[in-house]
Amino acid sequence: MTMDICPLEGVGAEISGVDLVRGLSDAEFATVRAAFAQHGVIFFRDQFITESQHIAFARRWAPININRFFAAHPDHPEIALVSKERDQRDNIGGGWHTDHSYDHIPAMGSILVARELPESGGNTLFASMYAAYDALSEGFQRMLRSLNAVHSARHIFGEAASTHYQQSDARGARIGNSAAAEHLQDPVHPVVIHHPLSGKKALYVNPAFTTRFAGWTEEESRPLLMQIYAHCMKPEFVHEFVWRPGSIAFWDNRATWHFARNDYHGQRREMHRITVEGEALCAAH
């Protein structure tokens, strides 16, 4: 089998000619790793892996981060269940976001495996924070490089949360540990990071978890954040991934945003997610 890496419109690359059931050789893994660093999100098709194979693949990248907010797989605590039931209205991730920016050392990314899909709908959109940064003027880039931003999960996962990023059961009761969110210390991250794997510059603010620029009020921050978000959502930086049985997506939280479409009410969708740890973030110069 020869591996093929096909860059996609907007962001990401589809990798074919690999067999994740059999597992990757060291040479194949190195090639996949380089593609992940370059493209920010990689996709695989027709990979019917078991839970244990999912866990083994994840462990090759970095230690597994066990999610504090999502329900765990009953037999495999390493796997978080990202699911929407037939009678549920909200989904997980139904707005532009990147996972874990509320952590001091944000997770590298998540490996999401399709387990049960609606007949249609339930696509996931990804946006490139490399391309969004690169498309800005040199002057605006320089100004953004001088800024840091505060991130928080409290308004999302905490006691007062009411948005789409959390999981609730059919009666609307919250699943997961909302009290845990209350104890998080809001981290400050550079607005433009030096990406730890690629060395490229990436925008690192997102609509879900960034609350303000460091040293600015929320009110002062809002207009500039909205301007940056509107830019990042432009179609030229976005790829819409259509899931099929056997599809896997692995995104880099430090290089992309994602958005789970919630357009399949009445049908069930279940994804298995494993998140792997990242490294400390540095500002781009």
Q: Which residues are catalytic?
A: 97, 99, 258, 273
| Per-position x/- string for 74-93, each x denoting binding to ligand OGA as judged by CB under 6 A, each - no binding | --------x---------xx
Closest chain position to ligand OGA (CB): 93
Instruction: Tokens for 123, please give them.
Output: 């696509």
Q: Single out the residue of 14, 78, 99, 103 in contact with ligand OGA (rule: CB under 6 A).
A: 99
Report yes or no: 254 and 196 within 8 Å, Cβ to Cβ. yes
* Contact call for residue 260 and ligand OGA (CB under 6 A): yes
* Contact call for residue 273 and ligand OGA (CB under 6 A): yes
Residues 6+ apart with CB under 8 A from 48: 21, 245, 246
Q: Edge-to-edge strand order for the sheet containing 282-283?
A: 201-203, 192-194, 282-283
* Contact call for residue 55 and ligand OGA (CB under 6 A): no
Residue placing its CB nearer to Mn ion in the complex, 144 or 151:
151
Closest distance of CB 65 from Mn ion, Å: 13
* Contact call for residue 113 and ligand OGA (CB under 6 A): no
The residues that touch Mn ion, with contacts defined as CB under 5 A, are 93, 99
Instruction: Tokens for 142, please give them.
Output: 């320089």
Q: Single out the residue of 258, 272, 274, 276 in contact with ligand OGA (rule: CB under 6 A).
A: 258
Closest distance of CB 108 from ligand OGA, Å: 13
**Alpha helix stretches (DSSP H) within the chain:** 26-39, 51-61, 129-134, 138-145, 154-157, 178-182, 218-232
* Contact call for residue 272 and ligand OGA (CB under 6 A): no
Residue placing its CB nearer to Mn ion in the complex, 93 or 176:
93
Residue placing its CB nearer to ligand OGA in the complex, 73 or 273:
273
Dihedral pair phi/psi, residue 180, rounded to 5°: -60, -35
Which has the closest alpha carbon to 11: 281, 272, 261, 233? Answer: 233
Beta-bridge partners for 110: 251, 275
Identify the three-state secondary structure at position 179: helix
Report yes or no: 238 and 32 within 8 Å, Cβ to Cβ. no
Partner from ligand OGA, Mn ion, none contacting 205, C-beta within 5 to 8 A by type: none
Instruction: Tokens for 251, please give them.
Output: 């995104």
Partner from Mn ion, ligand OGA, none contacting 271, C-beta within 5 to 8 A by type: ligand OGA
Residue placing its CB nearer to ligand OGA in the complex, 2 or 162:
162
Residue placing its CB nearer to ligand OGA in the complex, 156 or 271:
271
